[in-house]
Amino acid sequence: MARKAPELNTGSMADISFLLLTFFLLVSNIDTDMGLSRKLPPMPDPGAPPVVVNERNVFVVLVNARNQLLVEGVPTAIGQLKEKTKEFFLNPSNSPKLSEKEMKPINLIGDYNKSKGVVSLRNDRSTKYGTYIQVQNEIAAAINEMRDDLSREKFNKSFEDLNNEQRKAISKAIPVAVSEAEPKDIGGKK
């Protein structure tokens, strides 16, 4: 009589494999966080009068549902946003269509012709998050370049190499002036 080959019970092996897979999924850390590091402005004083901003000092950036930019009413590529933002804030030709400047005394810098400009950013509800991040990055890059240029002019160092007091002075001269409106349906639906 022929002998039967012994069989292995693989049911418990499947259970062990499942438990190991579950363990590794639970203890593994997969970094895919995406976002913007921003410090929110302090809450306004309830007794303070509302801030009135001249229309000339508002740089309007709209992003529609097709992820297209409209900057100051003109269709613009995302790659051009940084230069347009810098031109708006710096207003090198003192154009009445760009932001006003006001001479302000700033510690460590002296009198500085500070822009009164604010970027007003509004997105469509259907704007892709990647486009939103690109627009934010271009605006941040414009501010960072202006800060770096001023710090090289005043302290002969890049903004990153300044001490805390010098950074505060440069940040006061060139603040992050971005106002984000609640997303709404702007148009340009697919």
The pair of structure tokens assigned to 28 is 């593994």
Distance CA 91, CA 84 (A): 10
| Long-range CB contacts (within 8 A, 24+) of 5-13 | none
Q: Are strands 101-106 and 69-71 parallel, antiparallel or unpaired?
A: unpaired
pLDDT at 1: 64
Cβ atoms within 10 Å of 155's Cβ, excluding its own: 18
pLDDT at 47: 84
Per-residue pLDDT of the chain (190 residues; tens, 9 = 90+): 677 777 777 777 888 888 999 988 888 877 666 666 666 667 777 888 877 778 889 999 999 999 999 999 999 999 999 999 999 999 989 898 899 999 999 999 999 999 999 999 999 988 998 999 999 999 999 999 999 999 999 999 999 999 999 999 999 999 988 888 777 776 555 4
pLDDT at 157: 93
pLDDT at 180: 85
Cβ neighbours for 7, distance < 8 A, ≥ 6 positions apart = none
Sign of CA dihedral 35, 39, 45, 51: negative
Cα angle value 123/133/62 (rounded, 5°) = 25
